[in-house]
Structure 1
Amino acid sequence: MPHAAPVLIADVPELESVLRDCFPADDVVYVSTLADSTMALGSREYRLIIVGLHFDHYSMFELVRYVRTLPRFKRVPIYCIRALPARLTDAARSGIEHAVRLLGAQAFIDVKPGPLAAEQMCKRLTEMLPVQGMTDGR
């Protein structure tokens, strides 16, 4: 069986260890700038892309839009997350959810702060890992 494509995670540096720990058995490429993410997208395939709301000074929307312009990533699932505490009104959360779907992401996952936040976030993210070969564009 061929080696599974890695997971690309684009978020703030403070969350790197927490997000990497969500995928202990997977190869993870972690980037924290828009420039690094475009370089990473040009260098290999990915089976899942995760983009944080706070990524590179709120560049989440720009990255999702860019990924969807690349034909080889048209079918790769993208999930946007908010893993840092930030106050969001219901209207703001709804607007973000709508915007990420319009840009081509599967969903916006809003992780509520609390003692089990990291564990709950990891569970939700790993449940979204596609089966090898299901999103490779064939």
Structure 2
Amino acid sequence: MMKRIKISNCLALVLLLAFSSCMKPRVELDDTQWGDNANITAAVLFKYEEVKNQLGYNEPVTGYQNVSIATPSNVVDKSQATVRIVAAKGTDLTKIGIRFSHFAKSIEPINGAPAAGIIADFSKGEFTYRLHSADGTDRDWKILISVAP
């Protein structure tokens, strides 16, 4: 009987220790250690193209594919916080989207700029996006889009 009590006490102690670790407060990540990263490193214009594939079915399967728009010029100027994109001749700026590469914590369209990642009208030519860095730095970036003549 005594041996049974010792085993059950040990088991209870192990379970208590195991479950009490879940009750301890977690250590939060200190975002400020990453510094000021409110910078864009690249921007790419894209469009959706309809594609049809047979895929071994009786009927073709229709869908859309995200296709990058080749641009003869894409200049990122970190000192001026600008990105200049000259799209290929004939590009319809009313039906494109934009993707950014950046190290910021988040990126936010401001002053009516279209959200990144969706098809929108970029024919206005100039847009502003606010980048929020992990250390609390906010920086507004101007995106200048035009079409090659």
Give the TM-score normalised by the residue count of structure 1.
0.24
Higher helix share: 1
Give the TM-score normalised by the residue count of structure 2.
0.23
